[in-house]
A and B are shown apart, each in its own frame.
Chain A
Amino acid sequence: MGKIPRFWGVHAEPTKLLRLILALLPFAVIVTAYLIASHVRLEANPSDKLTPSVSKMVEAVGEMALTKDKRTGRYLMLADTLSSLRRIVIGLGAAAIVGLFLGMTMGLFPGMNSTLHPVVRFLSIIPPLAILPILFIVFGVGEVGKIVLIFIGSLFVITRDIHEETRQLPREQIVKALTLGASQFQVLWQVVLPQIMPRLLITVRLCLGGAWLFLIASEAIASTDGLGYRIFLVRRYLAMDIIIPYVLWITLIGLLMDTALRLVVNWKYRWYVASQ
């Protein structure tokens, strides 16, 4: 055998350092491409708004994050972030809790399954954004409508996933618990629930993307604050120097949430990670 390939082909074994460099490479390409484009365009037209320079963006962020808004007396970026986070956490959290119990009872009790499975399937196919007008009409354009949109948009995905996961628990486990004297309630509470928990966290992780979509869509349409509201507001002035940092900020928050959920699974559910 010859030299171990480091990059090309199915046998490649990149070294640790090479892996790091490779991971950073695409980011470097994107940033460089932007910087060049920005430079070239600003050279041609110093008042161009589409590709602001880095210093322009830093300046804009400083304004948004570090100075009090004259009209409301708040730090806008912080206020936007907290409003958006509150909506997403309440909406997704409620969907996780309700979806967990719906999914588990459907997976464990055939009677419940017969009752709920068809309707859950039907509801899960309705595009959540299509009912946004209904939500705004029914709940108003305040907080409730936005939270309910995130809730509904995530609930059925979570329910279906937990249902599937519960059904895939080996039948033997449930029978075994019964031979150890478990009541049906104990089976649900002590056998099914603890084994489904790590799966719930993973499902919530996967639902984060959708939840952000619903959040920003509803904030864009009717709101007075929030990250989505802000970028759609400043769009009118083509304020790319605010929009780009906001998008990066939203991405960073999403990345942190995703990482946090993954770490919780790895720490608290070692047996689950080991059995995957």
Chain B
Amino acid sequence: MTNKIPHNNLLLMTDVYKAYGEKVVLDNIDLSVAAGELCTVVGPSGCGKSTLLRLILGQERATRGEIYVDGNPVGYPDPQRGIVYQKYSLFPHLSVLENVMLGKNFTTGLPDRILHRKRIQEEAVYYLEKVDLAEHYQKYPHELSGGMQQRVAIAQALIMKPRIILMDEPFGALDPGTRERMQVFVLQLWEEFDMTVFFVTHDLEEAVYLGTRILVLSQYYSDGRDEETCSRGAKIVADYPLARRAESTMVKATSEFGDLIQTIRREGFDPDYRQHVTDFDLKHPDAFQTLTEEEMRPNHVAANTDRHSKTE
């Protein structure tokens, strides 16, 4: 962890809060992600992973705080940030080829779209080849398996060459075998296209296998704020760099891999294990925190119960 804010990275978030009405979901998030990183995000279900992703995408606005991509504050969704959802990424009324061409057609003026139709089509076919789907170009999304649909969705996003690709549990609905193949596949594309990826999943194994960096988002932590008056949201409670391994999925069986998963499970997913905000496991060099005075105070509740136990 650094105390200096790494300003020059691709993605920068400082003091970001997100609340829905009274309910705070994201609580003073600080994050900086370098270009080229494959950053995975895990956390308990409902902790705010998708919310975090939607803020970066511009689909929703932060209640407070700043979010920059490439030094510019994020606005509404645009081609700078690509997205692959678990569902609804493809347009059901368009064929596979048309789905992949769509971005180019949106952004090419009418005369060029007609003059260069051939070129746009070839480019789309190139990306379809990259995702092994060239022979299915005429099919419609409903005629494809779940894994194939997600590969089209990735090609559809890639063709726009976004600065960062956001993925929200893209393989969450796939069976384990397909899922593993898709993981290997994402690693290949990530390497080949020099992508920056922000990958949300609730599957720890997937996150540790894929990532060059893993963020653990969780509401299970403690700080100096008064439990009764303060509605707490999730924070990044752990942030590790991950060694770039060979692509083989064999690593998932090693003990080192298993140990890391156990550590993360305890830090992020165990409601009884609550680290204090000043003790978070923020090992990644780009990690930083902007804690308030109040948050940094020793654990409010713990201090209370201590006093109680002494008087009894």
Contacts and interface: CB of A to CB of B under 8 A. Distances in A.
Nearest to A196: B93
B24 to A, nearest CB: 22
Interface stretch (B76-84, B179-187, B237-245, B296-304): B76-84
A132 interface: no
B106 A177 contact: yes
Interface string A179-210: 11111001000110011000000000000000
Interface residues of A, number: 24
The listed residue with most B CB atoms (<10 A of its CB), out of A175, A176, A183, is A176
A180 B81 CA distance: 9
B162 A179 contact: yes
Contact of A180 (B57, B142, B156): B156
Nearest to B93: A194
B85 A179 contact: no
A270 interface: yes
A170 B87 CA distance: 9
A172 interface: yes
Interface of A: 170-173, 175-183, 186, 190-191, 194-195, 269-272, 274-275
24 contacts: A170-B88, A171-B59, A172-B85, A173-B91, A175-B59, A175-B83, A177-B102, A178-B77, A179-B79, A179-B81, A179-B160, A180-B102, A180-B107, A180-B160, A190-B102, A191-B91, A194-B93, A195-B92, A269-B93, A271-B140, A272-B92, A272-B93, A274-B143, A275-B92
A171 B54 CA distance: 12
Interface string B108-140: 000000000000000000000000000000001
Given A271-B140, A274-B142, A179 B78 contact: yes
Contacts of A270: 140
B233 interface: no
Closest 5 A-B residue pairs measured CB to CB? A180-B103, A181-B107, A178-B77, A172-B88, A170-B88
Contacts of A186: 106
A191 B93 CA distance: 9
Contact of A172 (B81, B89, B157): B89
Contacts of B77: 175, 178-179
Contacts of B106: 177, 180-183, 186, 190
A191 B88 CA distance: 12
Nearest to B156: A180
Contacts of A176: 83, 85, 88-89
Nearest to B84: A176
B142 A275 contact: yes
Contacts of B44: none
Q: Which of A173, A178, A179 has the most CB of B within 10 A?
A: A179
Contact of A178 (B78, B87, B88, B156): B78
B92 A175 contact: no
Given A175-B57, A275-B142, A180 B93 contact: no
Contacts of B83: 175-176, 179
A180 B102 CA distance: 7
Contacts of B48: none
B92 A178 contact: no
B141 interface: yes
Nearest to A170: B88
A172 B87 contact: yes
A171 B88 CA distance: 9
Contact of A179 (B57, B88, B142, B143): B57
B236 to A, nearest CB: 24
Nearest to A191: B91
A173 B140 CA distance: 16
A180 to B, nearest CB: 4
Given A176-B85, A180-B102, A181-B160, 6 more contacts: A170-B88, A172-B87, A177-B102, A179-B81, A180-B103, A195-B91
A234 to B, nearest CB: 49
